[in-house]
A and B are shown apart, each in its own frame.
Chain A
Amino acid sequence: GENVEQHPSTLSVQEGDSAVIKCTYSDSASNYFPWYKQELGKGPQLIIDIRSNVGEKKDQRIAVTLNKTAKHFSLHITETQPEDSAVYFCAPRDDKIIFGKGTRLHILP
């Protein structure tokens, strides 16, 4: 079956520094690559997504890069702030829906 791996599982960065989370997938048919952020007591919220015909997308402090050949895509957060502390999930898909195990991001003051 399809395999989705997310690394690291936990990440602590100093406020103002950058954070990078990587998602590796096995299904070459995947054509949509979203990242979700989940805060305590809330459902996941889409923060950025990219489709298979694009290599990089940026939205203010958040960016996603896609390497379809290597089957991985990454979330980049620059100038991290306390409100970035949350759990982040990748969910590459075509028709199958599989989420990564999540990365808990801690922003240290």
Chain B
Amino acid sequence: KAGVTQTPRYLIKTRGQQVTLSCSPISGHRSVSWYQQTPGQGLQFLFEYFSETQRNKGNFPGRFSGRQFSNSRSEMNVSTLELGDSALYLCASSSGQGGNQPQHFGDGTRLSIL
């Protein structure tokens, strides 16, 4: 079974631009979560989608948004990029919604803002 796939693996942008990251979950998984990982803040939860609906949201500004499609694939968008948005963005999928399901992570998209 293929794992969680994130594209692209690396991305370089400049301040003020916007970016869209993509995540394909494990086949059959309907829940997709997004995280931001930085050396200073660690792993921080962005949002969780289940069956195309956002079910849970972390404490990030509205510049960070996401969506999930009918095939469970998900995208996250960051608008008006800031230097502090440089991070590894991780996507994780799980078979069900809610807190007691194991999460399967992709290897992330490393976003660098110049």
Give me the interface of A with B, judged by CB distance under 8 Å: 30-32, 34, 36, 41-46, 49, 51, 89, 93-102
Contacts and interface: CB of A to CB of B under 8 A. Distances in A.
Given A41-B107, A95-B56, A97-B33, A46 B42 contact: no
B106 interface: yes
Contacts of A49: 102
Contacts of A42: 107
Nearest to A48: B102
B7 interface: no
Name the prevailing secondary structure of the A interface residues: loop
A32 B42 contact: no
B42 A102 contact: yes
Contacts of B105: 36, 43-45
A99 B42 contact: yes
A98 B45 contact: yes
B86 interface: no
Interface string B15-40: 00000000000000000010100000
A49 B102 CA distance: 8
13 contacts: A32-B99, A32-B100, A41-B107, A44-B90, A44-B105, A46-B102, A89-B42, A94-B99, A95-B98, A96-B56, A97-B33, A97-B45, A99-B45
